[in-house]
């Protein structure tokens, strides 16, 4: 096949957001769960999803063209391994993540990305008059979608990043901005001698007890609510920040890390899970996640050098970087 022309490539780029929107629609309708047992005629599928058959057919036909669903016969649609990632019963499910992409206020900020080059405030704040976290505070149903999406990523992607390190020498770990405790639950299950504290905003962390209970590790974990710009819990020899620093400017990141530095044991370790952006021009999902940061948050994704500089300002030295598949890395730093 000849290379597509520049014109055709640009058309494909401009139309790519339509694929996102179709995936959001399919996630909202629960199509991946409905197709779990195999292909179905679109009419039967539409009846189960409470959808108009014609609209559903056109969406699934386009998604079949994009390789997301299978079309074994005209008008009959079936699952693919890619569609299966949207099943709710699959480990590392991206169902909640797809629903997060559907939140209209979040989409508006990304759609109006050009605002970011004119005004320093994140487009999200320019448009909605408040930041993402304040927004979630006032929209509990959207906060639940966000918690579910991050919980799913934690259990799979972020837990995999931690597999790059042997935590058997660690006694007590504090997960700063630990959400609903999914990452701590995964860690405690792998390390029976480890204890932990999950620290996050009070309205978020109140959901952690149930997660820790369900994972059978509640006897080794406590939960603490607060603001990491004020202080973080003392008494741990390891502090973990997973998908935290990228939300914030260098100044803000230094404030959070300095709060960790104040309470960490001298022999302690700081663990940061985030995208680690390569300096060169290779394709990297972190470079796209950085654009989510640009639209929603004051923060940014960082290169290893940028992390090292932020650590140094907060009294830490970068001791090692473990690049992990899926463009999420684990950085380890020590207090100086
Ligand atoms: N560590 C989790 C969640 C990352 S999302 C994971 O890897 O999946 C970022 C988290 O930072 C959210 O749970 C959010 O509630 C928390 N957060 C944001 N501002 C905070 C603050 N000021 N104090 C404490 N936690 C905060």
Active site residues: 246
Q: What is the pLDDT of residue 51?
A: 98
Q: What is the pLDDT of residue 161?
A: 86
CATH top-level class of 149-280+297-335: alpha beta
Low-confidence spans in the chain with pLDDT less than 50: none
Architecture per CATH, domain 6-89, reads as Orthogonal Bundle (1.10)
Query: Rounded to whole angstroms, how far apart are CA atoms 332 and 320?
Result: 5
Long-range contacts of 41-46 (CB under 8 A, 24+ apart): 41/75, 41/76, 42/75, 42/76, 42/77, 43/75, 45/77
Ligand 1 close to Cβ of residue 298 (< 6 A): no
Ligand 1 close to Cβ of residue 231 (< 6 A): no
Distances in whole angstroms, Cα of residue 223 to Cα of each of 27, 32, 203, 286: 32, 35, 12, 30
Judge whether 172 and 238 are in contact, CB under 8 Å: yes
Query: How many angstroms does the Cα of residue 177 sit away from the middle of ligand 1?
Result: 4
Domain boundaries, the chain: 6-89, 149-280+297-335
Ligand 1 close to Cβ of residue 180 (< 6 A): no
Query: How many angstroms does the Cα of residue 102 sit away from the middle of ligand 1?
Result: 21
Query: Rounded to whole angstroms, how far apart are CA atoms 203 and 277?
Result: 32
The whole-model pTM stands at 0.94
Query: How many angstroms does the Cα of residue 309 sit away from the middle of ligand 1?
Result: 22
* Residue whose CA is at the smallest distance from ligand 1 atom 14: 177
Q: What is the pLDDT of residue 91?
A: 86
Ligand 1 close to Cβ of residue 165 (< 6 A): no
Judge whether 115 and 175 are in contact, CB under 8 Å: no
Q: What is the pLDDT of residue 325?
A: 66
Ligand 1 close to Cβ of residue 154 (< 6 A): yes
Ligand 1 close to Cβ of residue 252 (< 6 A): no
Query: Rounded to whole angstroms, how far apart are CA atoms 85 and 128?
Result: 32
Query: Rounded to whole angstroms, how far apart are CA atoms 62 and 160?
Result: 33
Query: Rounded to whole angstroms, how far apart are CA atoms 174 and 172?
Result: 7
> Left, alpha or beta for 233 (phi > 0: left; psi -120 to 50: alpha)?
beta
* Residue whose CA is at the smallest distance from ligand 1 atom 17: 177
Mutation test of ligand 1: which of 147, 177, 182, 226 has the most ligand atoms closer than 8 Å to its C-beta?
177
Mutation test of ligand 1: which of 94, 97, 186, 201 has the most ligand atoms closer than 8 Å to its C-beta?
201
């Amino acid at each position: 096949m000849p290379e597509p022309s520049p014109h055709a490539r640009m058309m494909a780029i401009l139309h790519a957001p339509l694929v996102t929107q179709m995936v959001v629609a399919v996630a909202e309708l629960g199509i991946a769960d409905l197709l779990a047992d195999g292909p179905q005629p679109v009419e039967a599928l539409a009846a189960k999803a409470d959808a108009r058959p014609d609209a559903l057919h056109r969406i699934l036909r386009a998604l079949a063209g994009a390789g997301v669903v299978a079309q074994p016969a005209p008008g009959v649609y079936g699952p693919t391994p890619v569609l299966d990632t949207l099943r709710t019963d699959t480990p590392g499910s991206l169902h909640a993540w797809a629903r997060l992409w559907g939140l209209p206020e979040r989409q508006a900020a990304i759609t109006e990305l050009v605002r970011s080059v004119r005004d320093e405030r994140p487009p999200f704040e320019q448009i909605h008059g408040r930041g993402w976290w304040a927004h979630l505070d006032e929209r509990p149903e959207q906060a639940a979608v966000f918690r579910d999406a991050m919980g799913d990523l934690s259990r799979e992607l972020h837990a995999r990043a931690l597999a790059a390190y042997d935590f058997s020498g660690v006694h007590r770990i504090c997960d700063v901005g630990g959400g609903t405790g999914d990452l701590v639950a995964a860690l405690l299950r792998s390390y029976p001698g480890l204890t932990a504290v999950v620290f996050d905003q009070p309205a978020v962390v109140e959901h952690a007890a149930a997660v820790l209970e369900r994972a059978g590790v509640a006897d080794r974990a406590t939960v603490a609510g607060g603001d990491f710009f004020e202080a973080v819990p003392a008494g741990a020899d390891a502090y973990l920040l997973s998908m935290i620093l990228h939300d914030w400017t260098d100044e803000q990141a230094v404030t959070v890390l300095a709060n960790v530095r104040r309470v960490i044991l001298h022999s302690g370790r700081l663990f940061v899970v985030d995208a680690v952006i390569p300096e060169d021009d290779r394709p990297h999902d972190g470079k796209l996640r950085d654009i989510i940061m640009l639209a929603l948050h004051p923060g940014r994704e960082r290169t290893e050098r940028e992390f090292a500089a932020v650590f140094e300002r907060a009294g830490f030295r970068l001791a090692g970087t473990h690049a992990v598949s899926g463009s999420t890395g684990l950085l380890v730093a020590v207090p100086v």
